[in-house]
Chains A and B, each alone.
Chain A
Amino acid sequence: NAGVMQNPRHLVRRRGQEARLRCSPMKGHSHVYWYRQLPEEGLKFMVYLQKENIIDESGMPKERFSAEFPKEGPSILRIQQVVRGDSAAYFCASSPTGLGNQPQHFGDGTRLSIL
Chain B
Amino acid sequence: DQQVKQNSPSLSVQEGRISILNCDYTNSMFDYFLWYKKYPAEGPTFLISISSIKDKNEDGRFTVFLNKSAKHLSLHIVPSQPGDSAVYFCAASVEGDNDMRFGAGTRLTVKP
Contact = CB atoms under 8 A, between A and B. Distances in A.
Nearest to B51: A101
Interface in A82-115: 91, 93, 98-101, 103-109
Q: Counting chain A CB atoms within 10 Å of each CB, which of B44, B45, B93 scores highest?
A: B44
Interface residues of B, number: 29
Contact of A42 (B43, B49, B95, B102): B102
Contacts of A104: 46, 100
B34 A100 contact: no
B59 interface: no
Contacts of A107: 43
Interface of B: 4, 6, 9, 31-32, 34, 36, 41-46, 49, 51, 89, 93-105
Interface of A: 4, 6, 33, 35, 40-45, 48, 55-56, 58-59, 91, 93, 98-101, 103-109
25 contacts: A33-B98, A40-B104, A42-B4, A42-B6, A42-B102, A42-B104, A45-B101, A55-B98, A59-B99, A91-B44, A100-B31, A100-B93, A100-B94, A100-B96, A100-B98, A101-B31, A101-B32, A101-B95, A103-B46, A104-B100, A106-B43, A106-B45, A107-B43, A108-B43, A109-B43
